Structures are given as structure tokens and as C-alpha cells.
Amino acid sequence: MSDVRSRRPDTVLQRGIATAVVVYLGVVLVVPLVALAWTVLGRLGDVAEGLSQPDALHALWMSAVVATIAVVVNGVLGVVGGMVLARQRFFGRGLLDPLVDLPLALSPVMIGLAYIVLVGRGGWLAPMLEALDVKVLFAFPGLVIGTLFVTLPFTVREVALVLDELGDSEEQAAATLGATPWQTFWRVTLPNLRGALEVGLTLTLARSLGEFGAVLVLGGAISRKTQTATTFIHIAMEERQQAAAYGMAALLAAASIALLAFLRSRRPSVESR
């Protein structure tokens, strides 16, 4: 009986903490999403009309294209970068490792401004870009560069963490059996990275679809040219096209939730690798 009584304060405290966490998450995450969904469902006709506009369709297409490029580039460079961090030892590696996480700490708007210093009118690289007749600022390349910057850490870090956990014993065994470095990569290293790539590329896709600050600064949100789904929401709210803005926001939220659900469904298989 004394043991039961002694545990009661801890039980009450634990329940109190759990309740506080649930309430906090509900207020910060669930309630706003429910409010958005409720608003969209109450104005389905206006929402459908707003999302069927050419500007909205083009913005969705632009986000899909930029996100696809980000996934492909991060899929390749993420594997290469992760292998460099996990397998290579060289002068300056101690600086490179924290640099990978820098996009997580810096504001995307600030990064957009930093790129303007480089590629904008009178920027450091402006003479070279003008000579090559390449336009980055307020053009499609600006959207890609901004998105690649903010998504850089996800795949690289996942790949590096998995390689650190696995070690290189399997790769050394393959080399001992006569496999070339290329054969070792395709038959040993890459299959072991499947789970890391699933996580990293899914997070990359979700982050690409939701990026706003960098693409707004570098792209300028020019209608039917550099406007993405997120910048469409911004412009639509400014122009009082609330139904279109709510509908686009609901689409992006649904896409993010679907991607998270995919990761949750894949967690057992990812953890088993």
C-alpha cells in the first residue's frame, strides 16, 4: 500500500505533463489545421474556382518542377556528400560537417538576400552571368538555387548518419573478395542507404513544397513565371482572394501530411536496414 501511495504523485505529475503536451500540440498544430480544413470545406465552390485559375495551376506546376529537381539533385549529391562526411578524413572536414547544417539555422530570406549580392544587378557574379546571358534573379534558376540551399542538409545528414552506424566492414569485405569500388558502391553501399534515402528525399520533397522566403526573394513571385504555390498564397491574400489562398494552403498541408504518413508507414522497413 505504501508503494502505491508513493507512486501517486509521480503518476499525477506524469499525467499533468502529458496533458500539457497534448494541449500545446493541439493549440499549435491541430486547431489551426482543423480551422483551415473547416474553412475550405465551407467554401468548396469558391476554392475550386480559385484553384482552377491559370495563375494557381501554373504556381502548382512550378512548385512540382522545382521540388522534383531538388529531389533529384539531393538524391545524387546527398549520397556523395554523406559518403564524404562519413568515409573521408581530410583537412577542413571539421568545418565542412557543421556547414551542412547551416541552412537549418539561417533564415531563407537572408539567404535570398545573400544570393542577390552575388547574382543581382551589380553583384559579384553579374558580369560573368551577363557575358553568358544567364539570368538567375527573378527567373527559374533563382527558384532552384533557393530551394536547393534550404533542402541541402536532409539527405546528406541522413546518409552520413546511416554510414556512421553501419561502419565500413561490409565494404572492406567486398573489396577483399575482389569487387571494384564501383561494384562495392552499387551492390553494398547503395542498398544499405535505401532507408536513409527514403527519409532524406521525403523530407526534401516536403521542404521544397513549403519553401517561401528564399523563392520569394530570388524569384519575385512573378505571375505565371516565378510564382510557386507558397508565393501564390502570399499574393492571393494580398489581393483578397482568400478562397484561392485557403485552397492552396490546404493542398500543401495535405501533401505534407501525406508525406509524413508515408514516412510513418515506412518506419519499420527503414529501421530494419
pLDDT on residue 139? 93
Query: Taking residues 105-129, what's their average pLDDT?
Result: 90
Confidence of residue 5 (pLDDT cuts 50, 70, 90): low
Please check whether residues 149 and 244 belong to one and the same domain: yes
Query: Taking residues 80-89, what's their average pLDDT?
Result: 87
Single-letter residue type at 2? S
Please check whether residues 101 and 182 belong to one and the same domain: yes
Flag whether pLDDT at 1 surpasses 90. no
Q: Count the neighbouring beta carbons within 10 Å of the beta carbon of residue 214.
A: 27
**Tens-place pLDDT, residues 146-175:** 999 999 999 999 999 999 888 888 888 888
Please check whether residues 152 and 242 belong to one and the same domain: yes
Q: What is the pTM of this model?
A: 0.87
Q: Is 228 left (phi over 0), alpha (psi -120 to 50) or beta?
A: beta
Query: Taking residues 176-182, what's their average pLDDT?
Result: 86
Burial of 156 (0-12, 13-18, 19+ CB in 10 A): buried
Give me 49's grid cell.
474556382
Please check whether residues 27 and 105 belong to one and the same domain: no
Domain count, the chain: 2
Query: Taking residues 235-254, what's their average pLDDT?
Result: 93
Q: Name the least confident of 14-28, 63-77, 244-258.
A: 14-28
Query: Taking residues 85-94, what's their average pLDDT?
Result: 80
Q: Is 102 left (phi over 0), alpha (psi -120 to 50) or beta?
A: alpha
Please check whether residues 95 and 156 belong to one and the same domain: yes
Mean pLDDT taken over the chain: 88
Please check whether residues 13 and 88 belong to one and the same domain: no
**Residues 78 and 156 sit within 8 Å (Cβ to Cβ):** yes
Please check whether residues 79 and 175 belong to one and the same domain: yes
Give me 92's grid cell.
577542413
Please check whether residues 7 and 67 belong to one and the same domain: no
Please check whether residues 49 and 32 belong to one and the same domain: no
Tally the C-alpha atoms within 13 A of residue 192's C-alpha that lie toward its C-beta: 20
Residues of the chain above pLDDT 90, percent: 55
Q: Name the least confident of 18-22, 48-52, 264-268.
A: 264-268
pLDDT on residue 243? 93
- pLDDT higher for 88 or 129? 129
Please check whether residues 133 and 51 belong to one and the same domain: yes
Flag whether pLDDT at 6 surpasses 60. no
Q: How far apart are CA 104 and CA 118, in angstroms?
A: 21
Q: How far apart are CA 188 and CA 174, in angstroms?
A: 8
pLDDT on residue 113? 92
**Residues 217 and 113 sit within 8 Å (Cβ to Cβ):** yes
Please check whether residues 151 and 26 belong to one and the same domain: no
Q: Output b/e per residue, 178-211; b: 16+ Cβ within 10 A.
A: ebeeeebbeebbeebbebbbbbbbbbbbbbbbbb
Flag whether pLDDT at 87 surpasses 90. no
pLDDT on residue 249? 94
Please check whether residues 69 and 203 belong to one and the same domain: yes
Flag whether pLDDT at 263 surpasses 60. yes
Range of the domain at 32: 1-42
Q: What is the CATH number of the domain that holds 74?
A: 1.10.3720.10
**Tens-place pLDDT, residues 192-233:** 999 999 999 999 999 999 999 999 999 999 999 999 999 999
